[in-house]
Structure 1
Amino acid sequence: MTYIGPVLIGAFYVLLSSLLPDRHRRPFNAIMVAGAGAVYLSGGGLEGWELGYVAVATYVAYRGLESWTFIGIAWLMHTAWDVVHHLKGNPIIPFAAHSSLGCAICDPVIAIWCFAGGRPVLDMLPGRPSVSWLRRSVRTSAGAGSRRPPPPG
């Protein structure tokens, strides 16, 4: 479960995040990866290096407000930082010794999705209509229903 659980958590995050409306999905993910960059600040065990990493990670996450690629890069940076903490620092969750390793396994799952453009998961499945197509069709049918002909008489 040390390896499968983090992959499932990453996939679950991607699934839930992909349900957000398009205009909110990228900013939300930029904020999430910025927060992930700061999780070790209060006890990661690497002293001044923690501040340096947070500064760089914050800049990359800021760039992610306009670019899925930068969000993917930020998640991979966090993966590397998790590996450092697993080997030399303190775990991300103090009472879970392998939590940094789990995070290092989870983060690339999210990064891959970001490098693919952060599209809704349903749009990526073969043979499935895209979610954006479904939304357009629902809007069109709702609009068509509001233009009823006048009642006879």
Structure 2
Amino acid sequence: MIYVSPIIVGVVYCLLMSLIKEPHRRRFNAIMVAGAGAAYLSGGGFGPWELPFVALMAYVGYRGLESWTFIGIGWLLHTAWDVAHWLKGNPILPFAHHTSMACAICDPVIALWCFRGGPSLITLVRRWSRPGRTADHTHDHASASS
């Protein structure tokens, strides 16, 4: 469950973000990824190196205001920072030693969603749940234009 829970958390995050309409969804996520850069700041596991990472994530978040790709990159950068802290034994929550590893599993799920343009998962589920519809709509679009 320690490996499955973070994946579920990532999917739930994307579902909840789907409740926010565009372009606000992208902008809100840019702020979230910029803020994630400061997650380890109080623990100071890497001393003064924590500060350049916060600055890098702030820059990536700023670029993410106009780009889902930058938001995805930010989540992957945070994944690398999670792994580094996990290997060092300096977890995001000092009282829960698995939290950095769990975050390193969760963040790529969010990054993949961002690289897809942060689509509304709720809308996708509604489309797929309609009777007679399949997950592969490429054939439907091709035949409709013929």
| TM tier relative to shorter chain | 0.7 to 0.9
Quote the offset at 1:89 in angstroms.
4.6
Whose radius of gyration is greater, 1 or 2? 1
What's the counterpart of residue 65 of structure 1?
Answer: 65
Question: Structure 2: where are the runs of 5+ without partners?
Answer: 131-146
Q: Distance in 2 between matches of 1:89 and 1:50?
A: 15
Quote the offset at 1:122 in angstroms.
3.0
* Cα root mean square deviation, aligned: 1.4
Q: With the length of structure 1 as denominator, give the TM-score of the two structures.
A: 0.80
Q: Deviations over 1:53-106 (max 9, x none)?
A: 111111011100000000000000000000000001510011000100000000
Q: With the length of structure 2 as denominator, give the TM-score of the two structures.
A: 0.84
What's the counterpart of residue 119 of structure 1?
Answer: 119
Q: Distance in 1 between matches of 2:44 and 2:93?
A: 10
Q: Distance in 2 between matches of 1:115 and 1:128?
A: 24
Q: Does the CA contact (< 8 Å) of 1:7 and 1:105 recur in 2?
A: yes
Residues 1-153 of structure 1 correspond to what in structure 2 (within 5 A)?
1-125=1-125, 127=128
Q: Distance in 1 between matches of 2:52 and 2:124?
A: 36
Aligned-residue sequence identity (percent) comes to: 64
Q: Distance in 2 between matches of 1:97 and 1:44?
A: 15
Q: Secondary structure at the match of 1:22?
A: coil
Q: Distance in 2 between matches of 1:6 and 1:122?
A: 20
Q: Which runs of 4+ in 1 moved over 2 A?
A: 122-129
